[in-house]
A and B are shown apart, each in its own frame.
Chain A
Amino acid sequence: MADFILEMRNITKRFPGVIALNDVNLNVKRGEIHALCGENGAGKSTLMKILSGVYPHGSYEGEIVINGEEQRFGGIRESEKAGVSIIYQELELIKELDVGENIFLGIQPLKMGTIDWNRLYFDTRKLLQDVGLDIDPGIKIKDLGVGQQQLVEIAKALRKKTDILVLDEPTAALTEHEIELLMKILHDLKNKGITCIYISHKLNEMFRIADSITVLRDGKSIATHKLNEVDEPKVVSLMVGRELEERFPKKEHSPKEVVFELRNFTVYDTEYQDIAIIENVSLSLRKGEIVGVFGLMGAGRTELVSSIFGAFGGKKNGSVLVHGKAVEIHEPRDAIVSGMGLLSEDRKRYGLIINQSVSSNMTLASLDRICDFGRINSSKEFYLTGEYVKDLDIKVRSLDSKVSSLSGGNQQKVVLGKWLMTSPDILFLDEPTRGIDVGAKYEIYNLMNKLVDQGVAIMMISSELPEILGMSDRILVMHAGRFSGEFLYGEATQEKIMYYATGGE
Chain B
Amino acid sequence: MPVDNSDVQEKKRGMLPAAFRSNIMAYTMVFALIGIWVILFILTGGTFLTPRNLAMLFRQTSMIAILSLGMVLVIISGNIDLSVGSVLGLCGTVAGILQVWYKWAFLPTLIVTILIGIVIGFWQGFWIAYMRVPSFIVTLAGLMIFRGVILGMTKSVMIGPMIDEFKLIGQSYLSHTVGWVIAALAIIFIIYRTIAGRGSRKKYNLKLAAAYVDLLKVILISILFVGFVTIMNLYGGVPTPVLILIGLAVVVHFISTKTKFGRSVYAVGGNREATRLSGINTRKVTLFVFVLVGFLCSIVGIILTARLNAATSSAGNMMEMDTIAACVLGGASLMGGIGSIPGAICGALVMASIDNGMSLMNMEYYWQYVAKGLILIFVVCADISTKKSE
Contact = CB atoms under 8 A, between A and B. Distances in A.
Interface of A: 309, 311, 331-333, 335-337, 342, 344, 349-360, 363-365, 367-368, 371, 374-380, 382-383, 386, 400-402, 418, 422
B324 to A, nearest CB: 21
Contacts of B50: none
A376 B263 contact: yes
A146 B203 CA distance: 50
A356 B337 contact: yes
Interface in B252-307: 254, 257-260, 262-264, 266-267, 270-271, 273-281
Given A355-B337, A383-B206, A368 B260 contact: yes
Nearest to A418: B278
B277 A382 contact: no
Given A360-B266, A375-B254, A375-B258, 18 more contacts: A331-B276, A331-B281, A332-B277, A332-B278, A349-B274, A353-B266, A353-B270, A353-B271, A354-B271, A355-B337, A355-B338, A357-B17, A360-B17, A364-B278, A371-B259, A376-B260, A379-B204, A400-B21
B195 to A, nearest CB: 13
16 contacts: A311-B276, A333-B279, A349-B273, A349-B274, A353-B267, A353-B270, A355-B337, A356-B17, A359-B18, A360-B19, A364-B278, A364-B280, A368-B260, A379-B203, A382-B204, A383-B204
Considering the complex of A and B, which 3 residue pairs feature the smallest CB-CB distances, nearest first?
A357-B18, A353-B270, A333-B279
B22 A344 contact: no
B267 A364 contact: yes
B200 interface: yes
Contacts of B197: 378-379
A47 to B, nearest CB: 22
Contacts of B274: 349-353, 364
Interface in B145-203: 197, 200-201, 203
Interface string B55-95: 00000000000000000000000000000000000000000
A352 B338 CA distance: 15
Contact of B18 (A333, A368, A401): A401
A360 B263 contact: yes
Interface string B204-233: 111000000000000000000000000000
A371 B275 contact: no
Interface residues of B, number: 38
Interface string B85-129: 000000000000000000000000000000000000000000000
A438 B277 CA distance: 28
Contact of A355 (B22, B203, B279): B22
Nearest to B262: A376
A492 B266 CA distance: 46
B254 to A, nearest CB: 8
Contacts of A401: 18
A353 to B, nearest CB: 4
Contacts of B280: 333, 364
Nearest to A399: B18
B22 A350 contact: no
Contacts of A351: 274, 277
A356 B267 contact: yes
A340 to B, nearest CB: 10
Nearest to B337: A355
Given A355-B22, A379-B197, A382-B204, A360 B277 contact: no
A2 B266 CA distance: 56
B384 interface: no
A358 B19 CA distance: 10
A336 B276 CA distance: 11
Contacts of B206: 379, 382-383, 386
A354 B270 contact: yes
Nearest to B260: A367
B263 A367 contact: yes
Nearest to A342: B277
B14 interface: yes
A353 B15 CA distance: 19
A167 B142 CA distance: 50
A363 B200 CA distance: 18
Contacts of A349: 271, 273-274
A379 B206 CA distance: 7
B204 A365 contact: no
Interface in B17-33: 17-19, 21-22
A352 B277 CA distance: 10
Contacts of B260: 367-368, 371, 374, 376
B22 A402 contact: yes
A398 to B, nearest CB: 8
Given A336-B279, A383-B205, A355 B19 contact: yes
Given A356-B19, A357-B19, A364-B267, A332 B276 contact: yes
Nearest to B204: A383
Contacts of B19: 355-357, 360
